[in-house]
């Protein structure tokens, strides 16, 4: 397990990853960021992040497919999915996968940080 409980950002948009990383690090959280679900999975071995910030729409494996795969592998890391295109089909799958919330881009800084804090509290309660 990753002792520092890094916040892992998985988003194919480099500008979005960079801005989220800067925001989250400015509040003292350790951050790891990845341009794809596969890059994240390649780096995951032996670690469980504190929280996942996942883009819903990415080439290859999207954020929802990633969290569904992690759940099948019994990885219960709290996850927040962020999207620019929200619909009821995704809302149902997100809920079924046990995702904390589905947020629309752009996300206000205080809203995102509030959900990260909830995720970390949930992770701490589970360990």
Structure tokens at 48: 């469980």
The pLDDT value given to residue 11: 97
Domains parsed from the chain with CATH numbers: 7-126 (3.40.50.2300)
The dihedrals phi and psi of 112, each to the nearest 5 degrees, come to: -60, -45
The pLDDT value given to residue 94: 87
d(CA 9, CA 40): 9
The pLDDT value given to residue 1: 32
3-class SS at 59? coil
The pLDDT value given to residue 90: 79
Closest listed residue to residue 99, CA positions, set 49, 53, 33, 61: 53
Cα separations (Å) of 36 from 8, 16, 62, 110? 11, 13, 8, 25
State how beta strands 31-34 and 79-83 pair.
Answer: unpaired
Task: Return per-residue pLDDT of the chain as tens, 127 residues.
Answer: 333 579 999 999 999 999 999 999 999 999 999 999 999 999 987 778 999 999 999 999 999 999 999 999 999 999 999 998 766 777 888 888 999 999 988 899 999 999 999 999 998 888 7
Q: Note the pTM of the prediction, 2 decimals.
A: 0.92
């Amino acid at each position: 397990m990753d002792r520092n409980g890094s916040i892992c950002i998985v988003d194919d948009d480099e500008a979005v990853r960079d801005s989220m990383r800067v925001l989250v690090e400015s509040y003292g959280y350790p951050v790891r960021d990845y341009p794809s679900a596969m890059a994240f999975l390649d780096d995951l071995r032996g670690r469980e992040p504190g929280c996942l910030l996942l883009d819903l729409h990415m080439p290859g494996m999207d954020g929802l497919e990633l969290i569904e795969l992690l759940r099948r592998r019994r990885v219960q890391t709290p996850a927040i999915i962020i999207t620019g295109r929200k619909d009821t089909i995704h809302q149902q799958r997100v809920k079924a996968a046990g995702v904390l919330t589905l947020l629309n881009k752009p996300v206000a800084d205080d809203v995102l940080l509030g959900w990260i804090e909830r995720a970390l509290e949930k992770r701490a309660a589970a360990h």
